[in-house]
Amino acid sequence: MPKINRYVDIDSVEKEAKKDYIDRHSPFIHCEKNAKKGEKFQVRIQMGNEYKHPDDFDHYIAYIQLFDGETLLSQTTYYAGAQGSAPAHASVIFEVVPTKSKMKLVAMSYCTKHGVWESDPVEVEVGE
């Protein structure tokens, strides 16, 4: 089982290099807090909030996944150079169709140099 890294509030971190490391590897979920059952719902995931991640041949974001609890909803795969071989905020918009009354969304990403990273969970209420 690979080690899973999680975001910590970078305001509580003293060293700038550590803030950069944590932020640029963390996936952040952006979506509405409410959805309608059976209708498409957009979820945007962005890598890094303040700091951009490298896009080098040996150090890049290989994939971003979206889970609802333990269920994998969607995944996108990247290859070296997909972000123009320059530091960037890799991002993706997934469209999912809610079928339950609540979703607990979690994003996972994989950096080819620093492993698996997990977002904070985001709860979405699903109405009729």
**Residue 63 CB coordination number (10 Å):** 16
Task: State the total domains in the chain.
Answer: 1
Say how far apart CA 114 and CA 97 lie, in whole Å: 32
Give CA 69 to chain center in angstroms: 14
CATH of the domain at 29: 2.60.40.730
Res 64: pLDDT:
98
Res 122: pLDDT:
98
Per-residue pLDDT band for 112 (boundaries 50, 70, 90) equals very high
- The SS3 of residue 59 is strand
Structural domain containing residue 61: 4-127
More confident residue, 128 or 31: 31
DSSP assignment letter at 10? G
**105, 122 Cβ separation under 8 angstroms:** yes
Res 10: pLDDT:
67
Average pLDDT, the chain: 92
Write the pLDDT tens digit of every residue in 58-111: 999 999 999 999 999 999 999 999 999 999 999 999 999 999 999 999 999 999
Q: Model's pTM, two decimal places?
A: 0.90
Write the pLDDT tens digit of every residue in 4-40: 888 876 677 677 777 788 889 999 999 999 999 999 9
- H/E stretch holding 23: helix 16-25
Res 65: pLDDT:
98
